[in-house]
Structure 1
Amino acid sequence: MTYRVAVFGIWSLLASLSLATFSEASDLPDPADRAEFPTPGATSVLLGRDLFFDPILSGNRNIACGTCHQPDMGSGDGVSLSLGEGGRGLGPARRRATENPPRRLPRNAPPLFNLGAAEFTAFNHDGRVTSRKTERYGIALPKELLLERPVSLLAAQALVTMVSADEMAGHPGENIIADAVAQGRIAGYDGAWQKITERVWDIPAYRRRFEWLIGPDEPLHITHIAAVLADFVSYEFRATDSPFDAFLSGRDEALSNDQLRGMALFYGKAGCAMCHSGTFQTDHDFHAIALPQIGPGKGHGAHGNSDIGRGAITGRAEDAYKFRTPSLRNVALTAPYGHNGAYRDLGAMIRHHGDPGAGLAQYPGLTAAFLPDIGADETTLEAAMQDDAEVLNIYAAATLPGNPLTDMEITNLIGFLDALTDPVSREGRLGVPDTVPSGLPVAGLPDDN
């Protein structure tokens, strides 16, 4: 069921504000609270919460899921490109650790809001974890990974992150989990997933709580761990109570006049809803928008410092430089923006969408992003943008039509996007636990620094 603005009797107001005509406006979506979400039990959610913030799941016991996905940082870490395994601290304060210098990750930590909703069928910026009926248990994963049991898509995503060398597993020679990953031993009795499982099982508090959940006679499996992580993410980062949802439910006063102007632009002249459609403002598809390439890249391009996104997953030339359309729920909380955090400012990101070619050609460099100094030489982070051939490739792949916007229109759009913020999401539903069963520093508390 869709709602037109006319249902709420305010089209005369919109017309008087020169917002849009009935024929120009797109249908508005259903309120987010009508989306289909799982209903996990409290035991699973609280267990998943502890594991989410517990470094026990990482190879070197020094990083947790919550290190890069903090509830009070918009479910991310507040910087353009995260410092991965081996760093110390959180978000903008995260720095290199002298005994194990971390690598700058090539992509921005993606927000986790509403990923438990049934309509999300692809994860990561490039869709490397996606639903596909023809694959084992209906889930397509990177080719080196083999699912051992059925899991939800969100749980499968957690499995992938645990065995990423730069994100959680570590590097060869540092720990037995990293060694197993490097040798291609991920699934199976002697694989990295099994070694992570044994670590968790060896902690009495975790063993006792999993026995409550799965039964005393059921051996713990990595999919049990992934399942409770998914349950926590689905609960903690559900964001379905924004002013926009209130407006869609019939409360006309939930949006200000400026936000109404922005809404009319979003669903009308500005064309945002062509890609940012539906309940969560995403078409769940992949698009090339000529976003400037910063960071170390993913090993793509002539010099290995670029990132062709979806094209590297599908192998199709027409998918090069395409990335998944992000949901815009809580977008005001999730800066920096873009698959590599190329823009720290929401207005600059909107301006780029209005004229992608100009945004690419006039990109001012790392000053537009947010990369706090980590005490290391990072001049190579702009290497792709200094390669004229690569910049032309990025430009040629763009499929986003130009639609330049005025400063006032951008201001109004920002006002509307702020109306997509669920107030609970500013800090999280449960937040960070005080301690975790492993006794390790909790990701998100001062000791983690």
Structure 2
Amino acid sequence: MNKIISRNTIASAVALLMVGGTAVAGDKFPPLAPLPPVPIPADNPMTPEKIELGKMLFWDSRLGGDASSPCVVCHEPSKGWGDGGEISRGYPGTQHWRNSQTVLNSAYYNKLFWEGNVTSLEAQAPAAAEGNVAGNGDPSLMEMRLRFIPEYVERFKKVYGAEWPRMTQAYGAIAAFERTIVSDAKKVPFDRYMNGDKEALSASQLRGMKLYNGKAGCIQCHNGPLASDQKFYALGVPENEVFQTEPLYQITHRWEHYQKGTTEKVYRGANYDYGYYNVTRNPKDKHKFRTPSLRELKYTAPYMHDGIFYTLEEVVDFYNVGGGEAVPNKSPLLKPLGLTDAEKQDLVAFLESLSMDEPLLMDPPKLPPYAPLAVKK
């Protein structure tokens, strides 16, 4: 767990692993493969004590604005470590504007959130805890809360050697815990197959794997051990109708445009999510979103940045017709596939083989209470 692994080393190892089937475009894409060891940053080493602290903080509602929105609210184990809804719940009195992505295997991403605007779990934690329509927490207030919880004071001292808890340390502990929320290769049929168990995949799943690497072209973007190239594409995904009918969604939709720096004309008439453009300001990046991992799909519906699809069959149908409407910058990789009904069933069967046989569940920790500090007279 404490071994530090560079991303270059992982990439080199992955390049040596191959998967069956006929890959598109001359095998130029990194093949699917079992997940490598979790990469751990040198400045946030893993220890059992830090992981346990991070788990407690992940469940603790005091890391948020009104103590109602801990990390686990939007990333529930029983809901695939997402929140199970089309659009994330948002901070009370508001509504979010994107689907809450699972944190399962987020340890492997180097771009997080749908628009890839942070590059580490350490940066993801404060973006969520302090985001106005997410946790809406003030870091100085959250830090003071931690200092009035004696057990946390002792735990932070043990983990970090600090007299008082600091929010940067809290976010580091949460990130360390999240790096333990990963697929278990022994429970993933595809990984078992790749590790030598040739009975792990059914005949339908094997046919689906061939389609994945060939006719269906999934490997073009969903490649490598994570089944994601972590690049950005415009797919023409239909906009969720709530942004046309529900005031709270419309408020957030426009506010997000406004606070990300778009023009008044754009945010007042905002009717779609610009995605990666919010990061780059390059018009060629409008409508683009980061490729999500296809691991653990069985447990992480609904799908797409606005949760528009509830089943894998819907997702496959979407790609089979060549994606959605012709939005600006729509990826040229999207073309009608001509999959038969039987082929679509085989492809779905294979996609499901990238998930564990059973969901990764976890009991909540016992959280410590507040206590008044001794007042010196």
Q: What TM-score do the two structures reach when normalised by structure 1?
A: 0.68
1:344 is paired with a residue of what secondary structure?
Answer: coil
1:113 is paired with a residue of what secondary structure?
Answer: coil
Structure 1 match to 2:32: 29
User: Is the deviation greater in 399-408 or in 67-76?
Assistant: 399-408
* Letter of the structure 2 residue corresponding to residue 403 of structure 1: P
1:429-444 matches, within 5 Å, as 430-433=362-365, 435-438=366-369
Structure 2 match to 1:228: 173
CA separation in 2, counterparts of 1:409 and 1:24? 22
Distance 1:27 1:258, change over 3 A: farther
Deviation at 1:40, TM superposition (A): 2.0
1:174-213 matches, within 5 Å, as 192-213=138-159
Distance 1:395 1:210, change over 3 A: same
Decide which of 312, 326, 329 is 2:295's aligned counterpart. 329
Decide which of 40, 47, 50 is 1:41's aligned counterpart. 47
Q: Write the deviation string for residues 41-71 of structure 1: whole angstroms up to 9, x where unpaired.
A: 2211111111111110111011110001011
Structure 1 stretches of 4+ moved >4 Å? 19-27
1:305 is paired with a residue of what secondary structure?
Answer: coil
Distance 1:42 1:81, change over 3 A: same
* Letter of the structure 2 residue corresponding to residue 402 of structure 1: K
Q: Write the deviation string for residues 82-138 of structure 1: whole angstroms up to 9, x where unpaired.
A: 22222xxxxxxxxxxxxxxx3231100011122223xx21110001113xxxxxxxx
CA separation in 1, counterparts of 2:25 and 2:156? 56
Decide which of 323, 338, 350 is 1:416's aligned counterpart. 350
Q: Write the deviation string for residues 386-437 of structure 1: whole angstroms up to 9, x where unpaired.
A: xxxxxxxx6233114213322222211111111111245x133x4322x322
Structure 2 match to 1:98: none
CA contact (8 A) 1:52 1:65 kept: yes
1:227-376 matches, within 5 Å, as 227-241=172-186, 242-294=188-240, 295=243, 296=249, 298-299=253-254, 300=257, 301=266, 303-356=269-322, 359-360=324-325
CA contact (8 A) 1:80 1:340 kept: yes
CA separation in 2, counterparts of 1:167 and 1:32? 30
CA contact (8 A) 1:113 1:239 kept: no
CA separation in 2, counterparts of 1:55 and 1:236? 20
1:55 is paired with a residue of what secondary structure?
Answer: coil
Structure 1 residue runs without a partner (length 5+): 7-18, 87-101, 131-152, 170-176, 178-191, 361-393, 440-449
CA contact (8 A) 1:293 1:306 kept: yes
CA separation in 1, counterparts of 2:352 and 2:133? 33
CA separation in 2, counterparts of 1:22 and 1:54? 46
Count of aligned residue pairs for this structure pair? 329
Decide which of 98, 121, 126 is 1:154's aligned counterpart. 121
Q: Does residue 112 of the first structure (1) align with residue 103 of the second (2)? A: yes
* Letter of the structure 2 residue corresponding to residue 275 of structure 1: C
* Letter of the structure 2 residue corresponding to residue 411 of structure 1: Q
CA separation in 1, counterparts of 2:230 and 2:24? 27
Structure 2 match to 1:84: 90
Deviation at 1:209, TM superposition (A): 1.0
Deviation at 1:235, TM superposition (A): 0.7
Deviation at 1:29, TM superposition (A): 3.2
CA separation in 1, counterparts of 2:98 and 2:24? 40
Q: Write the deviation string for residues 19-56 of structure 1: whole angstroms up to 9, x where unpaired.
A: 75999777633321455457722211111111111110
CA contact (8 A) 2:30 2:223 kept: no
CA contact (8 A) 1:259 1:416 kept: yes
Identity within the alignment, %: 31
Structure 1 match to 2:59: 53
Deviation at 1:4, TM superposition (A): 3.7
CA contact (8 A) 1:283 1:325 kept: yes
1:363-402 matches, within 5 Å, as 395-399=327-331, 400-402=333-335
* Letter of the structure 1 residue corresponding to residue 312 of structure 2: L
CA separation in 1, counterparts of 2:307 and 2:168? 31
Distance 1:342 1:222, change over 3 A: same
Q: Write the deviation string for residues 146-195 of structure 1: whole angstroms up to 9, x where unpaired.
A: xxxxxxx20111011111122111xxxxxxx5xxxxxxxxxxxxxx3222
Deviation at 1:310, TM superposition (A): 0.3
CA contact (8 A) 2:38 2:179 kept: no
CA contact (8 A) 1:239 1:329 kept: no
Distance 1:260 1:58, change over 3 A: same
CA separation in 2, counterparts of 1:60 and 1:2? 50
Distance 1:276 1:350, change over 3 A: same
Structure 2 match to 1:15: none
CA separation in 2, counterparts of 1:5 and 1:229? 34
* Letter of the structure 2 residue corresponding to residue 75 of structure 1: W
Structure 1 match to 2:246: none
RMSD: 2.4
CA separation in 2, counterparts of 1:23 and 1:310? 26
* Letter of the structure 1 residue corresponding to residue 203 of structure 2: N
